[in-house]
Amino acid sequence: HDMVSIKSSTDLAKMREAGQIAGRALKLAGESIKAGMTTKALDKIIHDFIVGCGAIPSFLNYGGFPGSACISINNEVIHGIPSHKKRIAEGDIVSVDVGAFYNGFHGDTCATFAVGKISEEAKELLKVTEESLYEGIRAAQVGARLGDVGHAVEEYCSSRGYGIVRNYCGHGIGRDLHESPEVPNYGKEGHGQRLVAGMTFCIEPMINQKGDGIKVLRDGWTVITESGSLSAHFEHAIAVTPSGPVILTQP
C-alpha cells in the first residue's frame, strides 16, 4: 500500500472545519436547486458560498475541471461539468459533489437531490444509495478492514438489484483531496487494509439502477451509465476513531 497519512486530533479538528464548509455548501445547493435553473447558476451559488467562508473550492481547476462543483443529472454518474447550456428540469435527480479547502485541509461530500416530483423508482434509488453510504460508514471501525466497508455498501445495493460502479471509488482525504487508500464500493469481508485511528477517507457509493457499466463523454469528464438508467451518488468524508467513525462533512 501507499503510505496512508494518519491525522492528529488537531488535524481532525481542522478537517471538521473544512468538512463543515463543504457540508454547508451542499446543504445550500439542496435548498437552492430548482427546475429551470442552469447547472452553472447552481455552481455559482456553491462557489460564492465556499469563497465567502474564506475557503477554496477544491474541485475548481483540479486536473483542469472547469467548475466548483460536479453536477450530474439523471443518467450522469459523476463529474458533470456546470454549464450555462444545461437546465435542471422538474422530475430530475441531480447529484451535487462539493469540495472545500480550508486551513490546510480538504472536505468532500455529495448528495443526489430530487427536483420536484420524481418517480417512485428514482426515490427508491436515492434512498438505497444514501442508506448504503451509512452502511459503509458503520463498517469503518478501528480494526476492521477496507473490504468490510466496500462489502457493506455492495451487499446493501446489489441485494436490491442495483449496479455498483466499479471504475471509480472513494479515497483518502486530508492535506490532499485524493490520498491513499482507495475505497472501493465493493469488497470482501476481512480483506484489504486494516483501519486504524486517525485514518480519514471518503466513502462515496455511485449506484446505477441497471448494470454497473459506465462511459465517459467526449468532454473528457462526464461519466454516464452505459444502460442509460438513472444513477445516484452520496458521499461523506469520515475519520476512523477509537469511539467509532466520525462524519467530518456534517453541515
Residue closest to 14 by CA, chosen among 238, 174, 240: 174
Binding piece for Mg ion, criterion CB under 5 A, among 25-33, 56-64, 80-88, 108-116? 108-116
Q: Which helix (H) or strand (E) holds 73?
A: strand 69-73
Query: Residue 70, interface with Mg ion (CB under 5 A)?
Result: no
| Smallest distance from Mg ion to CB 206, Å | 10
DSSP H helices in the chain: 9-32, 39-52, 120-138, 146-158
Which lies closer to Mg ion via its Cβ, residue 155 or residue 176?
A: 176
Is-contact 68 75, C-beta < 8 A?
no
| Smallest distance from Mg ion to CB 215, Å | 20
Site for Mg ion in 75-94 (CB under 5 A): none
CA distance linking residue 21 with residue 27, whole number of Å: 10
Binding piece for Mg ion, criterion CB under 5 A, among 82-90, 104-112, 138-146, 154-162? 104-112
Name the 3-class secondary structure at 154.
helix
Give the contact letters, 149-188, x = binds to Mg ion (CB under 5 A), - = no.
----------------------------------------
Site for Mg ion in 10-29 (CB under 5 A): none
Compute the radius of gyration of the chain from its Cα atoms: 17
Binds Mg ion by CB under 5 A, chosen from 43, 76, 92, 108: 108
Which lies closer to Mg ion via its Cβ, residue 55 or residue 202?
A: 202
Listing DSSP states for 169-238 in one string gives -EEE-SSSSSEEEEE-S---TT-SPBP-TT-EEEE--EEESS-S-EEE-TTSS-EEESS---EEE-BEEE
Query: Residue 100, interface with Mg ion (CB under 5 A)?
Result: no
Binds Mg ion by CB under 5 A, chosen from 55, 199, 202, 238: 202
**Site residues (vs Mg ion, CB under 5 A):** 108, 202
